[in-house]
């Protein structure tokens, strides 16, 4: 478990699945995160969970408040151990958990873990051009805008740009020394 001041990031457990089933069927959340738009069945969620077990290229953490309220997930995807890079994904599915700085706090916790404990060198994220909350959350954790994939996403009748953000370990370390 990874602890931050207000949160615990736990490895995703089977008992977390029912909430994920509801979240994976929430239209607005699907749109923000760019998930596949098909509604998901409970069986599909079960298979998705089974498939996570023992994976070395992916790790999903349940974001829980210190009162054990489960509010969202944060994950490392496509972990490439040779290069030391991974994609970061996050969502706070419970609306009352958003806008309180918890996203930023969970991101900081995961970034510290990835650089310090996993010896990652580069973290990156893909964020829809329309998702300003996510852009700000990643920027406040020192991710830099690296590029724009033009019209790389389709939603609601039109194509949208996807922004590429990245953070290198040496840059994170410099910022960390400057603030500690």
At its nearest, how many Å lie between ligand COA and the CB of residue 109?
12
Which residue in the shown chain puts its C-beta closest to ligand COA? Answer: 103
At its nearest, how many Å lie between ligand COA and the CB of residue 131?
5
Nearer to ligand COA, 86 or 127 (CB): 127
At its nearest, how many Å lie between ligand COA and the CB of residue 54?
26
CA of 49: how far to CAs of 9, 77, 90, 116, 137, in Å?
A: 17, 14, 17, 27, 27
Q: Which residues bind ligand COA (CB under 6 A)?
A: 29, 32-33, 72, 90-92, 98-104, 125, 127, 131-134, 136-137, 140
At its nearest, how many Å lie between ligand COA and the CB of residue 138?
8
Nearer to ligand COA, 56 or 179 (CB): 179
Q: Is-contact 84 122, C-beta < 8 A?
A: yes
Tokens of 175: 């910022």
Nearer to ligand COA, 132 or 151 (CB): 132
| Residue 49 to residue 14: CA distance in whole angstroms | 7
| Residue 12 to residue 36: CA distance in whole angstroms | 21
Nearer to ligand COA, 46 or 130 (CB): 130
Nearer to ligand COA, 70 or 91 (CB): 91
């Amino acid at each position: 478990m990874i602890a931050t001041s207000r949160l615990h990031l736990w490895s995703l457990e089977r008992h977390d699945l029912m909430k994920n089933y509801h979240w994976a069927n929430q239209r607005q959340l699907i749109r923000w995160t760019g998930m596949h738009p098909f509604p998901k069945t409970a069986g599909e969620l079960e298979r998705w969970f089974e498939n996570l077990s023992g994976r070395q290229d992916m790790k999903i953490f349940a974001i829980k408040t210190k009162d054990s309220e489960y509010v969202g997930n944060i994950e490392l995807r496509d972990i490439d151990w040779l290069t030391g890079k991974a994609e970061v994904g996050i969502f706070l599915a419970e609306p009352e958990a958003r806008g309180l700085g918890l996203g930023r706090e969970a991101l900081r916790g995961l970034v510290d873990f990835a650089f310090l404990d996993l010896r990652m060198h580069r973290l990156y994220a893909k964020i829809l051009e329309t998702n300003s909350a996510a852009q700000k959350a990643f920027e406040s954790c020192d991710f830099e805008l690296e590029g724009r994939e033009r019209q790389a996403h389709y939603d609601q009748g039109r194509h949208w740009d996807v922004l590429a953000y990245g953070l290198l370990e040496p840059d994170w370390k410099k910022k960390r020394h400057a603030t500690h």
